[in-house]
Chains A and B, each alone.
Chain A
Amino acid sequence: MGGLNKMPIQDDKTIYTLASAAGRAGVAVVRLSGPSCAQACEALTGAPPPPPRQAVLKTLRDPHTKEHLDHALVLFFEAPHSFTGEDVLELHIHGSRAVLQALFESLAQNPSLRPAQAGEFARRAFENDKMDLTQAEGLADLIDAETAAQRRQALRQMEGDLGALYKNWAADLTQLLAMSEAALDFADEDIPQDLTKGHNKTISVLIEAITQHLCDNHRGERLRHGFVVALLGAPNVGKSSLLNALVKRNAAIVSPIPGTTRDIIEVSLDLGGYPVTLADTAGLRETADQIEHEGVRRALERATHADLKLVIMDASQSAKPDPTISALLDKDALLVVNKIDLVKNQSAFPQNALLIAAKTGEGLEHLTQTIINKIETAYAPTQNPTLTRARHRYALEKTLAYLKAAQTATQDELTAEELRLALRSLSQITGHVDVEDLLDIIFGSFCIGK
């Protein structure tokens, strides 16, 4: 802000990013730069980095859970003989999003590392005289594209529930800081003496909310499961056959998920490079049976949490979806008409319906592609959502740490300092807050000036 520096946080930490193009690819390159490359390599591979410029095949494991992440080609470039002039570690891994996600998760756990800001690799290269300066402009274009995509993605996230949540936090924090600053900068003015009275409580509430958000039980699940597709429909429309057919065609990493109810069967698979969970639910129908009723309730609940609903009807039963089914058809739903091989007149069905025969495989290729398209629209096509998430997580963890420090700070100006840094971290996600914004709040709230 003055006090809230607009410049991205730059420190001497080791940074990481996805260096290869985002999106589906056979191989993804994750690049690290900075003094902790060797340490990070040791943490992931259990061994120091290979000799400089030699590609070595290693098994990557999560340093904490020891979970197997992937086989990777590991390359090490020793400072100053690298792209950035710092130690650089390159991990060439399989291009699956599931693998990438798992790796970013592991990197995020390492306190010596943080996700790179836009342009930061280039910036470090420049600092160390490693960049041909005539390249700078081209690089700027690239970064602009990256930031534009990031902005689009951030915007999309910001429009959702998550965005509302982050924005509320930022608003609360801005208000807290404005009141703290008012008490410091305008202590000699005619303002209330108890401006920061409720602060510790508000800070506690924020800490609680962000902590909850960060260790949300569903998060890990979602990361493993990826995009959730729920199969819904009346009994015997062929949901299970469709599930089996899809699994058979895409049986890359099929694994049953433990802990699912007997009403819902979930299978995770790799659909075109994306981790996808298929959830087969109980048949939907009016019923007096207590147990079946509970099954229907759970099915509908699963449906509301799914990223995509496949609403399935039986071609041989009727040409129009019944009201229970129609009610499920929103923008996150696809209408699928199964057993199309059993009817002659295929034009009787709604235009947007996907016609398939799970048994014969007819229409399945088209359905798979439609699902992948849905996923790709949901994720930004040019920006890796995993990295954005890693950045958000890093920013939130920082915010949390500063809030905790604010709580225990012993003097008002130190509380304000921690709040300022907390807001600066959070504004990496929600957008810049300027000292003028604080002054606007202060001058709008109090009659200041003698």
Chain B
Amino acid sequence: MGIRFDAVTVAYDGNVVLDALDLTVAPGEVMALLGPSGSGKTTALRAVAGFVRPASGRVFLGDRDVTDLPPHRRGIGMVVQSYALFPHLRVEDNVAFGLKARKVPKAEIRTRVAEALEMTGMAAYARRHPRELSGGQQQRVAIARALAIRPDVLLLDEPLSALDAQLRSGMLAELARLHRELPEVSILYVTHDQVEALTLADRIAVMDKARLQACGTPRELYRAPADAFTASFVGNANLLPVTVGSAGVSFADAEIAVDTAGAVPGARATLCVRPHLVGIGAGPNRLTGTVAEVQWRGATHRLYVDVAGHRVMADVRELREPPAHGDPVTVHFAPEDAVLLTAGVGGHG
């Protein structure tokens, strides 16, 4: 069952926290709502769950308009950052809670609880209390509890944010596996972490300042972001203020060859180049500057290069003899690796 936002606006005391959101999540699709805090992504999720009432617009689950339905009648599975397990109930009773509320026959409850715990790898912990489990295990129980009611829609609100980095990547793989096992479940995944969004999502909806900025597959958003905000939020990006010319753009006193289709000559625009596509030394689209900072990251070096007062990042394979602070350096990138952004012009040096 899909999810559809139809011009959903949410406001608290006249303060708009979600501005006319139009978004459709296809049945079985994983949609990530990606954005910084205060971007409205959690509000959008809570509107689907029924915990906030839109000031205007409708929310649909499949063909059903659920805007006026209370949360307990929506049949949605939900997992939140704090797990929200019931501390006084054992793991199995936590998982059985939704089934009991739905008056599922006792015998069936037992098999479905076992099934959900099996699926999340928590079968051995059925008799434990939540306080006896680690954070990752608690999150598995929360997922099992949400899946036990066999929802068509699963809402995940920053589900991995409370876990440490190593556990997080393990749980990401786990979530991907769960979705392969339950391909018909639509997932709305709220996160501020681009790695989670890029890894898990079929499509990403980028949100900022209560508005939907861009929506597309991770690859589309990464390769061809529509605006500067999306470029910098999905992956790292060098954003250079440029002026559009006839066959390219000019940045500082350098001429840069790039596809300028759709741009008006003479207009100001932003050029987006991913740091790992920037190389050192001579090549097309050369920029010269001085090294401001060198960071060694094991397999790569990250160079910060000052070019005409703007900072350009370059991620290059580990250098045997990395340049030092203040050294002159030349960087370059291929014309096809740069994207000209005409929307959302901003000087993010």
Does A associate with B in a complex?
no
* Chain B residues packing against A (C-beta within 8 Å): none
